[in-house]
Amino acid sequence: MSTSDGRLASPLRDSEAAWAVAKCYTFSMSERRSRTLLWILIGGGAFFLFVLAVFTLVYLTLHAAGGEAGLGGFGDRIGVVDLDGVILSPQPVVGQLKKFGDDSSIKAIILHVNSPGGGVAASEEIYREVKRIRAEKKKKVVVSIETVGASGAFYVASACDKIYADQGSIVGSIGVIAQWVNYGDLLKWAKLKDVVIKTGEFKDTGNPSRDLTPAEQAYMQSLINNMFGQFVKAVSDGRGMKFDDVKAIADGKVWTGEQAKDMKLIDSVGDFEAAVADTAKSVGISGEPTLVHPEKERRTLMDLLLGDVSPYIPSREKMLEQQVGFYYLWK
């Protein structure tokens, strides 16, 4: 078979040409598919980031503790701060109170208490912050006592506008305590000696390896008496009672919520829901208020992976028996 120029046609040459055309077509289609896939990935990624940003914004808005922004319920919000367990530090409670106090959308604060008290200075710092918020921010702060609101926790409660407690709640224990373990006999048994070099007679007062001297006993009692006076004054001022009347009942005893009501140590027998409802009405909130809780911190990788594992880790509260100090604490 001849071509137009007289040369013989080559079947091989024709098949090569066809293969080249097919290859070019296939490459073009593949390139189009790659571009399409690339745009799909870019568009999908952008959409995913947009959705993630929206959900993050919603989450932060709903969970922001005391933030100015919020979805719904503007002006109908009540901050709730938990005072739970032994008080050995004013934080995070003081920080949470301050944040809610500074937030104009929070109309009132409820301090939800379940604590036997704790450190003298820590309790006083929380007490002062409550007083500051009431005086400077003109914001109502009330207390709802759950199971226990004793000693340092009651010290804090006395600074609030109103105190609620259940009938069977434990309330009171107005007093101060300092205690430690004396292991002097154990050292003697083990034939060990405690060596102390000090600059003054009272520098190692409370040394657990020996008994207190009479002078040290009197010194410690004077400190406790001074702290006790501060406690009694705080309660008398906060509850509108005479100093001597409070001092007469300040023997470390606790009472039920029902008994405390008759003694004017609390204002109303009621649970947390009653405290919320009454507080909402008192600040002009109609309907169900939005309760705002501080965002819980997750400080460790273990917390992020497994949740809050703090109940299973020895804390300062759990090791209280090993510490020497002064406490507004019911034990």
Cis peptide before 294 (omega within 30 of 0): no
Closest alpha carbon to 144 in 280, 24, 317: 280
Q: What is the pLDDT of residue 68?
A: 38
Which burial class, exposed, middle or buried, applies to 261 when counting CB atoms under 10 A from its CB (0-12, 13-18, 19+)? buried
Topology of domain 77-329, CATH: 2-enoyl-CoA Hydratase; Chain A, domain 1 (3.90.226)
As annotated, the active-site residues are 151, 203
Q: What is the pLDDT of residue 35?
A: 65
Q: In this structure, what are the phi and psi dihedrals at residue 230, rounded to the nearest 5 degrees? A: -65, -40
**From CA 329, how far away is CA 178, in angstroms rounded?**
9
Which single residue is written with the structure tokens 């080249």?
20
**From CA 109, how far away is CA 140, in angstroms rounded?**
6
Q: Which residues pair with 168 in a beta bridge?
A: none
Record the pTM. 0.72
Domain ranges for the chain: 10-63, 77-329
The answer to whether the CB of 235 falls within 8 A of the CB of 241 is: yes
**DSSP letters spanning 234-265:** HHHHHHT--HHHHHHH-SS-EEEHHHHHHTTS
Closest alpha carbon to 149 in 175, 115, 109: 115
Q: What is the pLDDT of residue 74?
A: 52
In tens digits, the chain (331 residues) has pLDDT values of 444 554 544 555 555 555 555 555 555 556 666 666 666 767 767 777 776 666 666 555 544 433 433 333 455 899 999 999 999 999 999 999 999 999 999 999 999 999 999 999 999 999 999 999 999 999 999 999 999 999 999 999 999 999 999 999 999 999 999 988 889 999 999 999 999 999 999 999 989 999 999 999 999 999 999 999 999 999 999 999 999 999 999 999 999 999 999 999 999 999 999 999 999 999 999 888 999 999 876 556 555 555 555 554 555 555 544 445 778 888 7
